[in-house]
Amino acid sequence: MDTLLSRHWHHLPPDEVEALLETNATKGLDIFELEHRHTHFGPNRLTTKKGKGPLELFFLQFHQPLVYILLAAALVTFLLHEWIDSGVIFGVVLVNATVGFIQESRALKAIEALAQSMEGAATVVRAGEKMTIPSAGVVPGDLVLLQSGDKVPADLRLLRSRELRVDESTLTGESLPVQKRPDPLDQETVLADRHNMAYSSTLVTYGTGAGLVVATGDATEIGQINALISSAQILATPLTRKISEFSGVLLWIILVLAGLTVLAGLLHGDSLLETFMAAVALAVGAIPEGLPAAMTIMLAIGVGKMAKRNAIIRRMPAVETLGSTTVICSDKTGTLTQNQMTVKEVCAGGGCYEFSGVGYTPEGDISLEDSVIVSKQHNVLIECLRAGLLCNDSRLIHNEEKWGIEGDPTEAALLSAALKSGLSVEVSERDYPRIDTLPFESEHHYMATLHLSASQPHGIIYLKGSVESILSRCRDALDYSGDCIPLDQDLIDQQVQEMANRGLRVLAFARKIPKESTSSVDHADVTEGLTFLGLQAMMDPPRQEAINAVRACQQAGIQVKMITGDHVVTAAAIAHQIGLDGTKRDKLEDFAIDGRAQARLSDQELVEVADKIAVFARVSPEQKLRLVEALQAHGDVVAMTGDGVNDAPALKQADIGVAMGMGGTEVAKEASDMVLTDDNFSTIEAAVEEGRAVFDNLVKFITWTLPTNVGEGMVILLAVFLGVALPITPVQILWINMTTAVLLGLMLAFEGKEPGIMARPPRRPETPVITRELALRIGLVSIMLVAGAFGLFEWALLQGQSLDIARTVAVNMFVFGELFYLFNCRSLRYSMFQLGVFTNRWLILGVTVMVGLQLLLTYTPTMNLLFGTAPIGLVEWSWILGGGLTIYSVVGIEKWLRRQANVMVTD
């Protein structure tokens, strides 16, 4: 039996399937065989991949260079007997590790959610008896019966079907329920087109059927998706990758400088203890203790802002990742589109009427030649719409100001269109009560209903179905005034072709007036003599907000690609309406590709094609995952949106997975980094904008804090090389780093968005956090801080001041130099006067508190004792404030010169 599970079951005839599975197509499995198969195949459940234990997962949070640096800082301050500082730094490390552990643990729940989706009940026939069992008890060879409302318990090869339709949207992305029939198919038929198969966890929406179980548990199609989720790697975000690289480089720089400090001290003849303490001071000064805390807090603030804009962040770095996104791969059904079929056009009586409105809501105008009409004055239109309303088994439901459906989406669209014209379901069913029904069958491709009518003594028959099946039965048609005229086949064919080219699904409608009274209708009654009423063309329309969001993303330099299980022509038409890049090209193959063509591409070819193609249709879950990997291999930062089970592997593989909160499955939500609570693609635009703002503020913080660390390290190094006393001590360095990071640097998290934030292209993944321009600025400010602090320290000593006073001057020079430089860092490009001096009130508050703390540090006896400081006079303060103002002025001039240079280049 094991070898059978890999067979192409859709290619085999039913009798061969029955023989291979060693079962009976009418009686099912024997009781004695069941126990053997239960033992052999196990329960019909998905197995979860054994992952890292909680302890291992927790300790892995410490396995990164930045954390090594912080642990070293905690150890150094501990050795210096600075218990509070050591505890604070270690506390920051612990909080970061705990947050990372919780977020990663939640992401790994995706497989558990997928396994739970398998649970349910199944109706089977065993030893000739019909029974209901838990779906976990289904085994290969079981004969399963299906009816409307059932969840398919396992992968089935259908043997019999009667009007069976299955909703496979969560597995394949196909927006419409699929008509099932048991006929064998070509071996190369793709998953979405296998009409003789019913797959585990899909839903039966209509009809009945019976099939043999060919795969259970992990061997099912959904089980293979489970394996893909297990194998997909959770990638580091661009920010964490860059911070990791930066931290690794910084670690080596600190070690080298500390080594040089020790060497220089020993060469000067200093004691080993003095040399060691100088090296410790340099290490403490160079370590950006506030950076991890600032990152966490800034990202948390971004999370809060996103929540207000209908996006729930499950992993905090995802906020920044969206800001770096270069490609968004979006599922079509329910994400870019309404996921509600809507009649857009009706051709009847020689005219084509356009219907406005979207979804199932029966509101909208009807236009003819761009003019809104009163539909009741157009009899042929009303008759065509009445046919769609009466020849219909579905219902529109209005609950809590929202319209839903009961039944088939296509029939619901017909009801909505009829109601827009002023027809009423209740009145129509009262005036035209149904007597009999000829259900839709795949063999005939139409449905017929017989109704009583006050105007027709023998009743009236309405038909709806495929254009070919209806036209072949018609002898005439209704004209504009409602009179019968000869059928114009060429005109109708032209109308159908034009609609199909726009991705519309077309149904034809007809009627027949029986010559004699009858209480039933059969196929012989509608073989010929019908009167053609018209065509109704429908589609799952794009969201208007999605069109606007796609345009905004493209203006921001972000490619948007559609990935769908729908047919390539339908997908291309939607893509064209949405305005995806490249969809205005003449040839379909220039911007769209289907799953079969994609499967023939090598990995390298797919990397090249993925960058150029905008529409990927009839795509399997494996191909979605492969596509994301191809884009990442091209160097893109990929965001993947989706809502179905079929999206989960790609959601997890992508740099950021975005799931839909309302219509999305739990599997997709658990595999994602971000969930949109309003299922609105336009929220992606807001997320990108917010992500860019968060990244900007993080870069501002790094650009602001590094000159202090570099400056402190250089001051210590310079003092050691010159053989003079240290201008600042390790404990003073810790005071500077910790207080300024919290009260000054963190205030940058509350900065507003940069002007034109969505008009610039996304940051390329290879772009470093600190660009050449910012590195030069950091170097310039570092030199000015070193010159100011060391110069004022030596000046104070030359004035005959004590060592404590000289060090207090140096400490305040660093703090007030940072304070003035902070106003430069409010924007990396513009002056604070262009932003508004008081627009960031948190920053003003932080500056005020920081100034107060420096006064306490300088003038209170307790702080003097703890930190080795002493009161200073107005002369010293004037030099300190003059130094800070100099830093602000020089950086302001540098920014102005760069803006002018950019303007000249642009011109």
Active site (catalytic) residues: 331
Q: What is the rounded distance in angstroms from the CA atom of residue 121 to the CA atom of residue 113?
A: 18
**Which residue's structure tokens are 């940069």?**
754
Residue 318, φ and ψ in degrees, nearest 5: -60, -25
Tell me how far CA of residue 737 lies from CA of 89, 291, 901, in angstroms: 11, 10, 34
Tell me how far CA of residue 153 lies from CA of 135, 199, 623, 863, in angstroms: 5, 8, 25, 72
Beta bridge partners of 448: 438, 463
3-state DSSP assignment of residue 530: strand
**Which residue's structure tokens are 């999370």?**
303
| C-beta neighbour count of 64 within 10 angstroms | 20
The two structure tokens encoding residue 93: 């490390």
Q: Are 794 and 716 in contact (CB under 8 A)?
A: no
Q: Are strands 615-617 and 592-594 parallel, antiparallel or unpaired?
A: parallel
Tell me how far CA of residue 66 lies from CA of 62, 239, 246, 295, in angstroms: 9, 13, 8, 12
Q: What is the rounded distance in angstroms from the CA atom of residue 140 to the CA atom of residue 122?
A: 13
Q: What is the rounded distance in angstroms from the CA atom of residue 790 to the CA atom of residue 726?
A: 9
E strand spans, 610-753: 615-617, 638-642, 656-660, 674-676
State the number of CA atoms in the 13 A half-sphere of 652 facing the CB: 29
| C-beta neighbour count of 343 within 10 angstroms | 27
Residue 794: which residues within 8 A CB-CB, separation 6 or more?
Answer: 724, 806
**Which residue's structure tokens are 């039965």?**
473
Beta bridge partners of 211: 144, 158
Per DSSP, the residues of 35-54 read: HHHHHHH--SSPPPPP---H
Q: What is the rounded distance in angstroms from the CA atom of residue 631 to the CA atom of residue 646?
A: 19
Classify residue 13 by its DSSP letter: -
**Which residue's structure tokens are 């909208």?**
364
Terminal Cα distance for the chain, rounded:
73
Q: What is the rounded distance in angstroms from the CA atom of residue 342 to the CA atom of residue 361?
A: 9
Environment class of 224 (CB within 10 Å of its CB; exposed 0-12, middle 13-18, buried 19+) = middle
Q: Are 731 and 867 in contact (CB under 8 A)?
A: yes
